[in-house]
Structure 1
Amino acid sequence: MTVLLVRADQVVPIDQLIAEIWGEYPPRRAIAGLHVYVSQIRKFLRRPNQSESPVLTRPPGYVLRLGPDRLDFHCFERLVCEGRDHLRERRYQQATATFESALDLWRDPLLDDVCHGPILEGFQTWLKEARLECIEMLTDSRLMLGRHRELVSDLYQLTTEHPLREALHRQLMLALYRCGRRADALHVYQAARKTLNEELGLEPCRALQDMQRAILTSDDRLELHVPA
């Protein structure tokens, strides 16, 4: 069912469904077992006012027709796109509200007991990346609104959970600097640099290096300029 939802309105071939359910070693009667699963799903989704099940047989497999229904992750994707447009146009209040609405739709990517074939693993990776991107853009918009003090604790947690996300380190450095904690901001840079060196043999990216230099020189461009 999860695979059909992820690929809603697209035909999912039988061999892909079998791989999602049983992996590389399906049972001998895998196709018969798949037919049983599909039959159970159709019974579960049957509605009194609908003559046809939303799960249709379409060679070479099955398709789930959503009709007017919408999935949360589709709404999430749309809101992220809208928020990105607001951020690009410097509409920071609207961007913040839109990104927050997107994250309110967030659910755990997939339950541990759900099969993890190539389709679901790829979808889970996409969801995690999309959520982090949304968080980073939300943080940028909040920083532009002068909400740096409330961001510090969350950014410390995020950089601990995602130590290789350089954008999060850069945002934490800026938030700390605007809180008057320049030494702490520079310590964040050194810790990030050490992690990148030890884990990947890399130096920090240009944006992170530029942030360090700007903090060292107290660059005026780091200050929050609020229109009069």
Structure 2
Amino acid sequence: MEIQILGSLAAHERGTSVVPSAAKPRQLLALLALHADQVVSVPTLMEEIWAENIPRSASTTLQTYVLQLRRRITAALDGTGERDAKDILVTRFGGYLLDLGPGHVDAHEFERLATAGGTAFGLGDHRTAADLLRRALALWQGPALVDVPTGPVLDLEVLRLTEERTMALERRIEADLRLGRHTEVVPELRVLTARNPLHEGFCAQLMRALHHSGGSWRALEAYQQLRGHLVRELGLEPSHALKELHQAVLTGNPNRALHPAVAD
């Protein structure tokens, strides 16, 4: 089974979709897929589906949702192969497990590539890092589980994946900057800073890209725009690191502030 989470939910067995149309079974499938090859406990599944309003019939209803998913898997299998639906959506003591094996969920592949890219970056291999991180980010087709109504458990999972995506994107751009691709990343960074007007990391990268592309005055303009947003919306000044970068651009002295370390 191949499952996509990074965008709309999709799950195909032998080319046939097994995604149910009803909201709660979709939540169940999404949560099991995110934790594929691991047991997800019944209380966790109930919390996701009903939050704090778990009905007395929750156990029976959950079993019904599992049965619905198995029926869709059975239809997709069409009686072929050695495995049946119960071998894929497995009942285990205290919970359920989606038995897929590695490489079948796009979110897991994203995390694998992003981790490998981060390792390459830490070793100073910026070309490999940029390539791996670009491949990781290409797996995203939109906001994670954009068409699934999420409960408290999936909300946290989506938040985690979104933060990991932002970190991977920031690191990929940093790798490109270290490779001297300053002009190439300016358009992308302009869009990112417009969409994330309080994100100091993207602003700092835009300032450095503009500075090294011969647009120092535009780098100073980007700083002032960020500072304006911070002061108006949060009542805060930019961080010390960003102020150092601003000073480096002002003086035309590309010191270490223009080449900051990136957190692991």
Q: So what's the TM-score if we normalise by structure 2?
A: 0.78
Match of 2:94, as an amino acid?
P
1:91–1:67 distance in 2 versus 1, CA, 3 Å? closer
Counterpart Cα distance in 1 of 2:39 and 2:70: 16
Does residue 191 (structure 1) correspond to residue 225 (structure 2)? The answer is yes
User: Which runs of 5 or more residues in structure 2 are unaligned?
Assistant: 1-28, 260-264
The one of 136, 139, 145 aligned to 2:170: 136
| Counterpart in the other structure of 1:161 | 195
Question: Are 1:98 and 2:126 counterparts?
Answer: no
TM-score by length of 1: 0.89
| Bigger mean CA offset, 48-57 vs 1-10 | 48-57
Query: What is the identity, as a one-letter code, of the residue corresponding to 1:193?
Result: R
Task: Give the match for residue 210 of structure 2.
Answer: 176
Match of residue 5 from structure 2: none
Contact map agreement 1:170 1:211 (CA 8 A) in 2: yes
What's the offset of the Cα at 1:175?
Answer: 0.8
Alignment pair present for 1:24 and 2:58: no
Contact 1:20 1:115 in 2 (8 A): no
Q: CA deviation at 1:14?
A: 2.1
Q: Is the 8 A contact 1:84 1:137 kept in 2?
A: yes
Give the Cα–Cα distance (whole angstroms) in 2 for the partners of residues 8 and 36 of structure 1. Answer: 20
Given that 1:9 and 1:64 are in contact with CA atoms closer than 8 Å, whether structure 2 keeps it comes out as yes
Out of 13, 34, 37, the position equivalent to 2:41 is: 13
In the other structure, the counterpart of 1:39 is: 67
Indicate the SS of the match to 2:205: helix
How far residue 167 of structure 1 moved from its aligned partner, in angstroms, is 0.7
The answer to whether the 8 Å contact 1:21/1:115 transfers is no
Contact 2:182 2:213 in 1 (8 A): yes
Residue 199 of structure 1: how far off its partner (Å): 2.2
| CA displacement at 1:116 relative to structure 2 | 1.3
The farther-off stretch of 210-219 and 54-63 is: 54-63
Residues of 2 paired with 1:91 and 1:200: CA distance?
Answer: 38
- Which residue matches 1:218? 252
Q: What is the count of residue pairs matched by the alignment?
A: 224
- C-alpha change, 1:68 and 1:147, in structure 2 (3 Å) is closer
Cα distance change, pair 212–68 in 1 and its aligned pair in 2 (3 A): closer
Question: 1:53 pairs with 81, 87, 96, which one?
Answer: 87
1:202 aligns with 2:236: yes
TM-superposition CA deviations, 1:42-78 (whole Å, max 9, x none): 2223443215422122232222222355321111111
Is contact 2:51-2:152 (8 Å) kept?
no
Query: 1 CA distance for matches of 2:194 and 2:252?
Result: 26
Q: Deviations over 1:140-188 (max 9, x none)?
A: 1111222111211111110111122211000000111112111111111
Equivalent residue letter for 2:165: R
- The CA distance in 2 between the partners of 1:162 and 1:68, in whole Å, is 34
Q: Matches of 1:83 and 1:112 in 2, distance apart?
A: 26
SS of the residue corresponding to residue 190 of structure 1 reads: helix
For the 8 Å contact 2:103–2:109, the answer to whether it is kept is no
* Higher RCO (C-alpha 8 Å, min separation 6): 2
- Give the deviation of 1:113 after TM superposition: 4.2
Q: Secondary structure at the match of 1:53?
A: helix
| Closer, same or farther: CA 67–91 of 1 in aligned 2, 3 Å | closer
**Root mean square deviation, CA, Å:** 2.1
Aligned equivalents of 1:123 and 1:88: distance in 2?
26
C-alpha distance in structure 1 between counterparts of 2:120 and 2:252, whole Å: 29
Picking from 55, 70, 84, the partner of 2:104 is 70
CA contact under 8 A between 1:83 and 1:99: conserved in structure 2?
yes
Question: What letter is aligned with 1:117?
Answer: G
